[in-house]
């Protein structure tokens, strides 16, 4: 139901909302072992506890659902970044002219990727303020490499940052609601 | 019917690629990089050259593919709608919890005493009950 990449959100919500009488049996066992019941049968108490904590459980399940989607998306973005790193590292070794610098090391390539991600994330800030965290620049004559790195920069700007903004907005709203209460 | 099977086939392929093949390959290559770093020289031998070409082709394709999958996932999931749905649900449940917690104090009636007794008993098993039910989902 929640399998990547096409989780059925409506079905997941429906599943959480569904009545789960089958859960009463393990809860009854827990209640019987944890509470000195006296004359009250464990089954009745477990039923009452179930009703008592149902909303809290549902809230936790919805939060877990949000976290699950975010972790899947985050893992996907991180994996793309790793793939890009390996590909530009291999590109720099295959074609010595991909970067305009003479000393191309894995650490320098990593810094170049970080610089590229910042340029994607901060839009024009890096260009406008002439800032860079990388000691290397790409060779503008290697057209394929230029457009390949542009693709990754666009990916960071369009997908990653827009997702981060939405997540931040969601979290801000929840925190704000929490503070208002 | 045929369209569904085709769609399921694509979904399975994407799942296989994103959860097993690409992460596995990336892990192996990164491990190889770390282990071979002290041995790497400035000149490329024949094997190393072929290896780097293979890496270049495979991971360039993987990057393009992953970028497409990310875009598709972001638009498919429609994060705004997803958050809106789940946010509304969380709000509804929180509202219910608050309503419950603001219920009047138990009076001296039989029901009130039962409620009081239950509340004190529940406090001890509440956390365990929540964890148990949550796990069951």
Cβ-based neighbours of B8, under 8 Å, separated by 6 or more: none
pLDDT per residue as tens digits for the range A141-173: 899 999 999 999 988 888 888 788 878 887 787
For position B36, what pLDDT does the model report? 79
pLDDT at A66 over 70: yes
Question: B72 and B24, same structural domain?
Answer: yes
A chain contacts of residue B130, beta-carbon cutoff 8 Å: 53, 56-57, 60
Whole-number percent of chain A with pLDDT over 70: 88
Give the rounded distance of the alpha carbon of B94 from its chain centre.
23
A chain contacts of residue B133, beta-carbon cutoff 8 Å: 20, 23, 27, 50, 53-54, 57
**pTM of the full structure:** 0.77
What is the residue-level pLDDT of chain B in tens, covering all 137 positions? 556 666 678 888 888 888 899 999 999 999 998 887 655 555 557 788 888 999 999 999 999 999 998 888 877 766 667 777 777 777 777 777 666 666 555 566 766 777 677 666 666 677 777 777 777 76
Which of A15, A77, A170 lies at the smallest CB-CB distance from B70?
A77
Upper half-sphere CA count for residue A55 (Cβ side, 13 Å): 14
Question: B117 and B50, same structural domain?
Answer: no
pLDDT band at residue A61, thresholds of 50, 70 and 90?
confident
Question: B61 and B8, same structural domain?
Answer: yes
How many degrees, rounded to 5, is the angle at CA B87 between CA B78 and CA A155?
Answer: 30
For position B58, what pLDDT does the model report? 95
For position A48, what pLDDT does the model report? 76
Which of A56, A76, A174 lies at the smallest CB-CB distance from B70?
A76
Contacts 24+ apart (CB under 8 A), A34-40: A34/B124, A34/B125, A34/B128, A35/B121, A35/B124, A35/B125
pLDDT at A2 over 70: no
Contact B118, A48 (CB under 8 A): yes
B chain contacts of residue A53, beta-carbon cutoff 8 Å: 122, 126, 129-130, 133
For position A52, what pLDDT does the model report? 74
Question: B69 and B10, same structural domain?
Answer: yes
For position A148, what pLDDT does the model report? 94
**Mean pLDDT within A39-66:** 76
Q: Of the candidates A79, A5, A90, A129, which has an alpha carbon nearest to the alpha carbon of residue B32?
A: A90
Tell whether B51 is covered by a domain.
yes
Which is more confident, A41 or A68?
A: A68
Question: B12 and B64, same structural domain?
Answer: yes
From chain B residues 19-78, the ones with a CB under 8 A of any chain A CB are 19, 22-23, 26, 29-30, 33, 37, 44, 48-49, 52-53, 55-56, 59-60, 62-64, 66-67, 69-74, 76-77
Contact state of A91 with B89 under an 8 Å Cβ cutoff: no
Contact state of B93 with A6 under an 8 Å Cβ cutoff: no
The dihedrals phi and psi of A97, each to the nearest 5 degrees, come to -95, 5
Which of A7, A55, A166 lies at the smallest CB-CB distance from B79?
A166
For position B98, what pLDDT does the model report? 67
C-alpha R_g of chain B: 28
A chain contacts of residue B12, beta-carbon cutoff 8 Å: none
pLDDT band at residue A60, thresholds of 50, 70 and 90?
confident
B chain contacts of residue A54, beta-carbon cutoff 8 Å: 133
Which is more confident, A181 or A17?
A: A17
Question: B128 and B65, same structural domain?
Answer: no
- Its domain, for residue B57, covers 2-79
Which is more confident, B19 or A42?
A: B19
pLDDT at A113 over 90: yes
- Indicate the residue among B35, B63, B79 that finishes a domain: B79
For position A114, what pLDDT does the model report? 92
pLDDT per residue as tens digits for the range A115-129: 999 888 777 788 888
Tell whether B63 is covered by a domain.
yes
Q: What sign does the dihedral B121-B127-B130-B131 (CA atoms) show?
A: negative
For position A88, what pLDDT does the model report? 94
For position B61, what pLDDT does the model report? 95
Count the domains in chain B. Answer: 2
A chain contacts of residue B98, beta-carbon cutoff 8 Å: 181
Cβ-based neighbours of A85, under 8 Å, separated by 6 or more: A109, A110, A113
**Number of inter-chain CB pairs under 8 A, A vs B:** 191
Question: B57 and B17, same structural domain?
Answer: yes
Nearest CA in chain A to B29: A86
For position B101, what pLDDT does the model report? 64
Question: B72 and B12, same structural domain?
Answer: yes
ipTM score assigned to the predicted complex: 0.76
- Indicate the residue among B37, B64, B79 that finishes a domain: B79
Which is more confident, B58 or A71?
A: B58
Question: Does residue B44 sit in helix, strand or coil?
Answer: coil
pLDDT at A130 over 80: yes
For position B26, what pLDDT does the model report? 95
Give the highest mean pLDDT range of A16-25, A51-60, A130-139, B114-123: A130-139
With an 8 Å Cβ cutoff, is B13 touching chain A?
no
């Amino acid at each position: 139901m929640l399998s990547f990449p096409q989780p059925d959100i409506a079905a997941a919500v429906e599943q959480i909302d569904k009545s789960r009488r089958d859960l009463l049996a393990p809860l009854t066992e827990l209640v019987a072992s944890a509470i000195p019941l006296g004359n009250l049968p464990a089954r009745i108490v477990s039923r009452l506890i179930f009703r008592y904590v149902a909303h809290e459980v549902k809230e936790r399940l919805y939060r877990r659902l949000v976290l699950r989607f975010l972790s899947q998306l985050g893992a996907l973005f991180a994996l793309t970044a790793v793939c890009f790193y390996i590909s530009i590292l291999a590109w720099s070794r295959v074609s010595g002219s991909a970067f305009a610098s003479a000393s191309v090391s894995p650490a320098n390539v990593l810094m170049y990727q970080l610089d590229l991600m910042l340029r994607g994330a901060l839009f024009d800030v890096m260009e406008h303020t002439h800032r860079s965290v990388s000691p290397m620049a790409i060779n503008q004559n290697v057209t394929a490499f230029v457009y390949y790195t542009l693709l990754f920069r666009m990916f960071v700007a369009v997908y990653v940052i827009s997702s981060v903004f939405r997540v931040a907005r969601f979290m801000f709203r929840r925190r704000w609601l929490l503070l208002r209460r | 019917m045929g369209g569904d099977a085709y769609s399921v086939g694509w979904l399975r392929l994407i799942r296989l690629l994103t959860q097993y093949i690409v992460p596995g390959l990336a892990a192996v290559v990164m491990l190889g990089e770390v282990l071979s770093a002290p041995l790497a020289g400035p000149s490329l031998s024949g094997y190393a050259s072929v290896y780097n070409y293979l890496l270049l082709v495979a991971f360039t394709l993987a990057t393009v593919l992953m970028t497409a999958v990310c875009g598709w996932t972001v638009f498919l999931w429609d994060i705004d709608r997803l958050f809106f749905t789940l946010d509304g649900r969380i709000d509804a449940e929180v509202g219910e919890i608050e309503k419950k917690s603001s219920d009047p104090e138990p009076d001296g009636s039989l029901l009130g005493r039962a409620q009081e007794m239950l509340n004190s008993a529940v406090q001890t098993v509440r956390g365990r009950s929540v964890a148990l039910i949550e796990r069951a989902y």
